[in-house]
Amino acid sequence: MVAQILFAAFAAVAVVSALRVVLAKDAARAAFALVLSLGVLGPLFLLLRAEFSAVVQLIVYVGAVVVLFVFVIMLTSNPEDPQDAQVSSSVKGVAPAVLAAIGLFAVVSFAALDTFGESQIGNTQPGDLVVLGRDLLTKQLFAFEVMSVLLLAALIGALAMARRN
């Protein structure tokens, strides 16, 4: 009972914040809304007994990615043109996107409810970290290594691009 209320609360916060992210007139406000939105997902994962994911979410996503965003906003914001954070002004420009988004949501939720409406979560125990670690380093080793290489490439790439000459 408590879990359900908590879940609903977290979900609501996430959605509202997400809306703020896409609708805020201010880049900074949008960034902080993103923090909130992504941040509240962490406890939500805990409710789903995915402890590892919750922690990863908080550390990596909120702690690094969004921070990066804040930095970039700081560096690229242009005092002469405060309008450039805005959504496009005319209704005509927005309408198709709105419709598309709503349509997409409708389709996906309909599909989800149709298929999994009656299902129950089977996870009643805390997730086994040992198993996860073992999986990572045995069964999913290849993907793990590739990921490492990817991160390295991204790092080098970003460095190369950001250099001043």
Q: Alpha-carbon distance 159 to 164, whole Å?
A: 10
Residues 77-96 contacting other proteins, CB under 8 A: 78, 81, 84-88, 93-94, 96
| Among 1, 122, 138, 142, interactor with other proteins by CB under 8 A | 122
Does the protein bind other proteins through residue 154 (CB under 8 A)?
A: yes
How does DSSP classify residue 80?
Answer: T
Rounded least distance, CB 148 to other proteins, Å: 9
CB atoms near residue 73 (< 10 Å) = 15
SS3 assignment, position 163: coil
Does the protein bind other proteins through residue 57 (CB under 8 A)?
A: yes
Rounded least distance, CB 2 to other proteins, Å: 13
State the DSSP string of 63-76.
IIIHHHHHHHHHHH
Q: Provide the mask over 2-41, with x wherever binding to other proteins is found by CB under 8 A and - wherever it is not.
A: -xx--xx--x--xx--xx-xx----x--xx--x--xx--x
Does the protein bind other proteins through residue 141 (CB under 8 A)?
A: no
Q: Alpha-carbon distance 119 to 112, whole Å?
A: 11
| Among 126, 135, 141, 145, interactor with other proteins by CB under 8 A | 135
- Nearest Cα to 42, choosing from 33, 52, 34, 32? 52
Q: How many residues make contact with other proteins (CB under 8 A)?
A: 88
